[in-house]
Structure 1
Amino acid sequence: MKHFIARPTKLALVCSTLLLSPTIFAGSLVGKVTGANQLKLYKGAKVTLVELSKSVVTDQTGEYRFDNLDAGEYTLVVDYLGAESQTFKVQIEQDGTIKQNLTMASSDTMEDVVVYAQRAGQAGALNMQKNADSIKSIVSADAIGQFPDQNVSEALQRLPGMFIERDQGEGRFVGIRGIDPNLNNVTINGLNVPSPESGVRSVALDVIPSQLVGSLEVSKSVTPDMDASAIGGSIEVKSLSGFDRAQQSISFSAQMAQNKLRDETSPKVAASYTDIFNDEFAIAGALSYSERQFGSDNIESNGGDELEQRHYSITRERFGAAVNLDYRPDFNNQYYLRTLYSAFSDDEYRLSNTFVFDDETEIERASKDRGETQEITSITAGAEHLIDSWKVEYQLGYSLASEENPNALYYTIKAEELAFSSDMQGAIPQIEQSSQVHDLSQYELDEVSNESEDSEDEESSLKLDLTKTLQLNGHEFEVKVGTQYRQREKQAVADIYIYSGGDVFDSFAAENYAVSNMDWSLGEFGPGLDKMALRQHFTDNRAALADSYQSSESKAESKGASYSINEDIFAAYAMTRFSIDKLSLVAGVRYEKTDFSTSGYKVDVVENEETDFEGTLNSVWQAERDYAKWLPSINVRYEFSPQVIARAAYTQTLARPKFEDVAAFQIIESTTEEDEGVFVTEREAEAGNPELKPYFSDNFDLSIEYYPGNIGVLSAGYFYKDIENFIIVADVAGTADWQDYDEVFQPINGENATLSGFELAWVKSFDSGLLLAANATVSDSAATTFFDGELIKTQLPNQSDTTANFTLGYETDSLSMRLTSVYKSRNLEEIDDGMLRYEDAHTQFDFSGKYYVNQHTHIYFNAININDEPMYHYFDEKNRNAQYETYGRTFELGFSWTSF
Structure 2
Amino acid sequence: MKYRLTPLAKATLLACSLTLVTPVSAADNGMIVGQLSNADNSRVFAGARVTIKELNLSTESRRDGSFHFAALPAGNYTLQASYLGAQPFTQVVTVEEGEINTLTITLSSGNNAIADILVRGQRSGQASAINQQRVADNISSVVSADAIGQFPDQNAAESLQRLPGLSIERDQGEGRFVGIRGIDPNLNNVTINGLNIPSPESGVRSVALDVIPSELIQTLEVSKSVTSDMDADAIGGTIAVKSVSAFDHKEDTASLTIQGSQNTLRDKTSPKLSGSMTHKFSQQVGIAAALSWFDREFGSDNIESNGDDELEQRFYTINRERLGGAVNLDYRPDFNNQYFIRTLYSEFSDDEYRQGNIFTFDEEDSEIARESKDRYETQSIFTVTAGGEHQLDVWDLAWQLGYAKSDEDEPDALYYTFITENASIDADLATSIPQVVQNNDAMDLSTYDLDEISFEDNYTKDVETSVKIDIKRAVDYGRYKGEIKFGTKYRSREKDRNSQIFIYDGDVAGIDSATFGTSAPDWGLGEFGPGLNRQLLRENFNESRSELELVALDSELESKGASYVNEEDIFAAYAMTSVDIGKLHIVAGLRYEITDFSTRGMRVELVADEQADIEQVVNTPWESARDYDYLLPSVNLRYSISEDVIIRAAFTQTLSRPSFEDVAAYQIIETTTQEEEGGFVTEREATVGNPLLNPYEADNFDLSVEYYPGDIGVLSAGLFYKKIDNFIVYADVAGSEEWVGYDEVVQAINGSSADLSGIELSWVKAFNNGFLVSANSTFSTSDATTLFDGEEIDMSLPNQSDRVGNLTVGYEANDWSLRLTMSYKSENLEELDGDMIRIEDDHQQVDFMAKYFINEDMQIYFNAINLNDEPFYHYFDQRDRNAQYEEYGRTFQLGFTWQIR
Q: Do both share a fold (TM > 0.5)?
A: yes
Residue 314 (structure 2) pairs with residue 310 (structure 1): yes
Match of 1:603 in 2: 604
Amino acid across the alignment from 1:823: Y
Residue 73 (structure 2) pairs with residue 70 (structure 1): yes
Contact residue 24 and residue 332 of structure 1 kept, 8 A: no
Stretch deviating more after TM superposition (638-647 or 467-476): 467-476
Match of 1:693 in 2: 694
Q: Secondary structure of the residue that 1:396 maps to in structure 2?
A: strand
Within 5 Å, give how 1:101-180 maps onto structure 2: 101-112=104-115, 114-115=117-118, 117-180=121-184
Q: Secondary structure of the residue that 1:217 maps to in structure 2?
A: strand
Residue 382 (structure 2) pairs with residue 377 (structure 1): yes
Contact residue 30 and residue 66 of structure 1 kept, 8 A: yes
- Mapped to 2, the partners of 1:751 and 1:869 lie a distance apart of 37
Residue 757 (structure 2) pairs with residue 756 (structure 1): yes
Q: Secondary structure of the residue that 1:74 maps to in structure 2?
A: strand
- Mapped to 2, the partners of 1:541 and 1:520 lie a distance apart of 31
- Mapped to 2, the partners of 1:522 and 1:609 lie a distance apart of 46
- Mapped to 2, the partners of 1:840 and 1:282 lie a distance apart of 49
Unpaired runs of 5+ residues, structure 2, are 1-25
Aligned length: 874
Matching residue within 283, 288, 292 for 2:287: 283
Contact residue 729 and residue 830 of structure 1 kept, 8 A: no
Q: Deviations over 1:273-326 (max 9, x none)?
A: 001232111111000001001001111111211111111110011100110111
Matching residue within 61, 78, 98 for 1:95: 98
1:108 and 1:44, CA in 2 relative to 1: closer, same or farther beyond 3 A?
Answer: same
Contact residue 732 and residue 788 of structure 1 kept, 8 A: no
- Mapped to 2, the partners of 1:113 and 1:176 lie a distance apart of 35
- Mapped to 1, the partners of 2:217 and 2:277 lie a distance apart of 12
Residue 790 (structure 2) pairs with residue 789 (structure 1): yes
- Mapped to 2, the partners of 1:817 and 1:428 lie a distance apart of 36
Match of 1:537 in 2: 540
Match of 1:264 in 2: 268
Match of 1:513 in 2: 516
Amino acid across the alignment from 2:485: K
- Mapped to 2, the partners of 1:251 and 1:736 lie a distance apart of 64
Residue 455 (structure 2) pairs with residue 455 (structure 1): no
Contact residue 28 and residue 73 of structure 2 kept, 8 A: no
Amino acid across the alignment from 1:879: D
Contact residue 209 and residue 286 of structure 1 kept, 8 A: no
Contact residue 29 and residue 74 of structure 2 kept, 8 A: no
Matching residue within 222, 239, 244 for 1:240: 244
Match of 2:297 in 1: 293
Contact residue 87 and residue 109 of structure 2 kept, 8 A: no
Contact residue 113 and residue 120 of structure 1 kept, 8 A: no
Q: Deviations over 1:26-77 (max 9, x none)?
A: 5111111111222221211111111212111111011111111223332211
What's the TM-score once normalised by structure 2's chain length?
A: 0.96
What's the TM-score once normalised by structure 1's chain length?
A: 0.96
Residue 502 (structure 2) pairs with residue 497 (structure 1): yes
Residue 418 (structure 2) pairs with residue 413 (structure 1): yes
Contact residue 216 and residue 324 of structure 2 kept, 8 A: no
Match of 1:336 in 2: 340
Residue 642 (structure 2) pairs with residue 612 (structure 1): no
Match of 1:352 in 2: 356
Q: Secondary structure of the residue that 1:747 maps to in structure 2?
A: strand
CA RMSD of aligned residues (A): 1.4
Matching residue within 82, 86, 92 for 1:79: 82
Match of 2:11 in 1: none
Q: CA deviation at 1:111?
A: 4.5
Residue 399 (structure 2) pairs with residue 394 (structure 1): yes
Contact residue 61 and residue 243 of structure 1 kept, 8 A: yes
Match of 2:33 in 1: 30
Match of 1:584 in 2: 585
Match of 1:678 in 2: 679
1:572 and 1:671, CA in 2 relative to 1: closer, same or farther beyond 3 A?
Answer: same
- Mapped to 1, the partners of 2:102 and 2:497 lie a distance apart of 54
Q: Deviations over 1:414-457 (max 9, x none)?
A: 00134210121111111111111010010000001111000100
Contact residue 163 and residue 176 of structure 1 kept, 8 A: yes
Residue 52 (structure 2) pairs with residue 52 (structure 1): no
Q: Secondary structure of the residue that 1:542 maps to in structure 2?
A: helix
Unpaired runs of 5+ residues, structure 1, are 1-22
- Mapped to 1, the partners of 2:80 and 2:294 lie a distance apart of 46
Q: Secondary structure of the residue that 1:441 maps to in structure 2?
A: helix
Matching residue within 183, 200, 207 for 2:204: 200
Contact residue 86 and residue 114 of structure 2 kept, 8 A: no
- Mapped to 1, the partners of 2:632 and 2:814 lie a distance apart of 50
Amino acid across the alignment from 2:845: Q
- Mapped to 2, the partners of 1:461 and 1:80 lie a distance apart of 36
Q: Deviations over 1:746-766 (max 9, x none)?
A: 222211010000000011110
- Mapped to 1, the partners of 2:687 and 2:525 lie a distance apart of 33
Contact residue 518 and residue 530 of structure 2 kept, 8 A: yes
Match of 1:4 in 2: none
- Mapped to 1, the partners of 2:708 and 2:443 lie a distance apart of 64
Stretch deviating more after TM superposition (715-724 or 535-544): 535-544
Match of 1:425 in 2: 430
- Mapped to 2, the partners of 1:669 and 1:831 lie a distance apart of 23
- Mapped to 1, the partners of 2:589 and 2:28 lie a distance apart of 27
Q: CA deviation at 1:358?
A: 1.8
Amino acid across the alignment from 1:421: D
Q: Percent identity?
A: 57
Q: Deviations over 1:545-588 (max 9, x none)?
A: 2xx11000000000111011000001010000111220000001
Contact residue 85 and residue 109 of structure 2 kept, 8 A: no
Q: Secondary structure of the residue that 1:211 maps to in structure 2?
A: helix
Q: CA deviation at 1:114?
A: 4.8
Stretch deviating more after TM superposition (550-559 or 61-70): 61-70
Match of 1:661 in 2: 662
Q: CA deviation at 1:207?
A: 2.2
Contact residue 644 and residue 704 of structure 1 kept, 8 A: yes
- Mapped to 1, the partners of 2:427 and 2:703 lie a distance apart of 52
Contact residue 186 and residue 205 of structure 2 kept, 8 A: yes
Contact residue 25 and residue 388 of structure 1 kept, 8 A: no
Contact residue 32 and residue 101 of structure 1 kept, 8 A: yes
Q: CA deviation at 1:735?
A: 3.2
- Mapped to 2, the partners of 1:417 and 1:455 lie a distance apart of 40
Match of 2:444 in 1: 439
Stretch deviating more after TM superposition (641-650 or 270-279): 270-279
- Mapped to 2, the partners of 1:520 and 1:615 lie a distance apart of 43
Contact residue 243 and residue 326 of structure 2 kept, 8 A: no
Contact residue 90 and residue 100 of structure 1 kept, 8 A: no
- Mapped to 2, the partners of 1:245 and 1:322 lie a distance apart of 17
- Mapped to 2, the partners of 1:830 and 1:425 lie a distance apart of 19
Stretch deviating more after TM superposition (701-710 or 742-751): 742-751
Contact residue 775 and residue 806 of structure 2 kept, 8 A: yes
- Mapped to 1, the partners of 2:835 and 2:625 lie a distance apart of 32
Q: Secondary structure of the residue that 1:120 maps to in structure 2?
A: helix
Contact residue 31 and residue 64 of structure 1 kept, 8 A: yes
- Mapped to 2, the partners of 1:397 and 1:562 lie a distance apart of 27
- Mapped to 1, the partners of 2:544 and 2:863 lie a distance apart of 48
- Mapped to 1, the partners of 2:841 and 2:258 lie a distance apart of 35
- Mapped to 1, the partners of 2:422 and 2:830 lie a distance apart of 35
Q: Secondary structure of the residue that 1:128 maps to in structure 2?
A: helix
Match of 2:23 in 1: none
